[in-house]
Amino acid sequence: MVFSSNLFLYVFLPLFLICYCLARTVGAKNAVLLVFSIVFYAWGEPVFVLVLLLSVTINWIIGLKIAQGRRFALASGVGWNLALLGVSKYAGFAAEIFNVLSGAGIPVPDIALPLGVSFFSFQAISYMVDVARGRAQAERTWLRVALYITMFPQLVAGPIVRFSKVSHQLKQRHHTLMRVSLGLRVFAIGLAQKVLIANEVGHFADVAFSSVGLLDAGEAWGGLVAYTLQIYFDFAGYSNMAIGIGLMCAFSFPRNFRLPYSSRSITEFWRRWHMSLSRWFRDYLYIPLGGNRGGTIRTYANLVGVFALCGIWHGAAMNFLVWGLHHGAFLVIERMGFGSVLQRLPAFVSVAYTLLVVMSGWVWFRAETLAEAITFFAALAGAGGNDFLDEVFTEAVNSGWIAAMIAGTLLALVPGAMWRRVIGGASRTLSRLPLPGFIGAVNHELAIRDTLALGLLALALIFVAGSNYNPFLYFRF
């Protein structure tokens, strides 16, 4: 069940909000949220609900053991979560690599991937490490640990929430009309990002990457730009919907994106893209490995190693590993001095450099195999074909696609401060008009924001009702 589906928008979410509002105490609200989270997960993965609840129980027990100072408790807990992640996601990949390197013919296991296993495993590790470091107390109540790990707004695709950041909210939180209003606005923006931009440009990207050997240069670049916008607004939209639902429930989830495509370096890009994951790898892997404290070579090795693991975390395939190494290599290059050069260059030059690096990385990320990625790079350079795709692309290119490409480009690159100035200017204009009664007394800037959000929500709901194309890219991970 995806957030942008009719089932979720018209049945699951309204029913959840009604039950949640009827619950009087925080404990009752937690119980409602947990039940709906389990139903949400079971809707797509009924078999793996037991695996999820077993993992919750094991992490709860080990968290208590860590608090008691039991030796090896943290290692066993982290080992359990990595084993669950490794067996379900990487067993087949490891067998394939072993067969290639050794020439053996061991059977490649075909293990179904539990929904959201990458995210809930990382959240569970965060819980145990935060307890071990003294940043949070071990939770004695199973329900709260279960709620932290399974909370449906961010269970499947994040943002990754630290236990130390929400532990107090699990016990006490303040529900206000202002939070609900803000949550609805953020949810509407996220839904519009997903439905009005990501889905619209996604058709073109799908055609391009499914026919890599037939593309001319224009089609290849058009497909790459479309995918660059699709993956951003698909994932950022989902994150904003999750943050919005969290606000409605009085939870504060971390922001996950901050205009990453306007970054002036790859270093800055990773401070703005999937920020909860970047911080997780920094705090729970990069710094424990020594970070930048072990000398230049050790720092470079840590960077490349962490991003190799980041790539593999996204998917058990060689193209994801190459994508991670791609970013790790450019981070090392910037550490070697190129980063300071970028800051001295005109902004449009350094932004163009960052976009080129990121977009070339998306080729490795989106292609099904390394061979397809190499073929796509050849098409970008003009060494591809031009068979029947002009007619196919004509079907994917329509007024909705053009509008989504233009809007997506502007929203991805224009700073938020500029949009705020536009809204502020409109607000000041309204305040000078002789508006009657209560209309003239309202907060015009807030009214403009709410009106825009409601308009986007209405338009997005129309698109959801009338479209059968509704992929969610991060379900792959």
Total-model pTM: 0.89
Q: Of 203, 274, 314, 327, which is the active-site residue? A: 314
Give every CB contact of residue 9 below 8 A, 6+ residues apart in sequence: 3, 191, 461, 464
What percent of the chain clears pLDDT 70, i.e. is strictly above it? 89
Give every CB contact of residue 284 below 8 A, 6+ residues apart in sequence: 125, 126, 129
Give pLDDT tens digits for 228-277. 999 999 999 999 999 999 999 999 998 999 999 999 999 999 999 999 99
Before 288, cis peptide (omega within 30)?
no
pLDDT in tens, the chain (477 residues): 788 888 999 999 999 999 999 998 999 999 999 999 999 988 877 888 888 899 999 999 999 999 988 878 999 999 998 888 888 888 777 777 777 777 777 777 777 677 778 888 888 999 999 999 988 889 899 999 999 999 999 887 778 888 888 889 999 988 888 888 899 999 999 999 999 999 889 888 988 898 888 888 888 898 999 999 999 999 999 999 999 999 999 999 989 999 999 999 999 999 999 999 999 999 989 988 888 887 889 999 999 999 999 999 888 889 999 999 999 999 999 999 898 999 999 999 999 999 999 999 999 999 989 999 999 999 998 887 665 556 556 666 777 778 888 888 888 888 777 767 776 676 666 566 555 544 544 555 677 777 788 888 888 888 888 777 667 666 555
CA distance 124 to 122: 5
CA distance 310 to 428: 46
Give pLDDT tens digits for 336-369. 989 899 999 999 999 999 999 999 999 999 998 9
- 444 given a catalytic annotation: no
Query: What is the three-state SS of the chain?
Result: CCCCCHHHHHHHHHHHHHHHHHCCCHHHHHHHHHHHHHHHHHHHCCCCHHHHHHHHHHHHHHHHHHHCCCCCHHHHHHHHHHHHHHHHHHHHHHHHHHHHHHCCCCCCCCCCCCCCHHHHHHHHHHHHHHHHCCCCCCCCCHHHHHHHHHCHHHHCCCCCCCHHHHHHHHHCCCCCHHHHHHHHHHHHHHHHHHHHHHHHHHHHHHHHHHCHHHCCHHHHHHHHHHHHHHHHHHHHHHHHHHHHHHHHCCCCCCCCCCCHHHCCCHHHHHHHCCHHHHHHHHHHHHCCCCCCCCCHHHHHHHHHHHHHHHHHHHCCCHHHHHHHHHHHHHHHHHHHHHHHHHHHCCHHHHHHHHHHHHHHHHHHHHCCCHHHHHHHHHHHCCCCCCCCHHHHHHHHCCHHHHHHHHHHHHHHHCCHHHHHHHHHHHHHHHHCCCCCHHHHHCCHHHHHHHHHHHHHHHHHHHHHHHCCCCCCHHHHC
Give every CB contact of residue 275 below 8 A, 6+ residues apart in sequence: 159, 254, 255, 256, 257, 258
Query: What is the token pair recorded at 28?
Result: 């009752």
CA distance 19 to 415: 39
Give pLDDT tens digits for 410-450. 888 887 777 677 766 766 665 665 555 445 445 556 777 77
CA distance 202 to 366: 12
Query: What is the token pair recorded at 345?
Result: 């260059």
Determine the length of the chain.
Answer: 477
Instruction: Tell me which residue has tokens 């730009």.
Output: 225
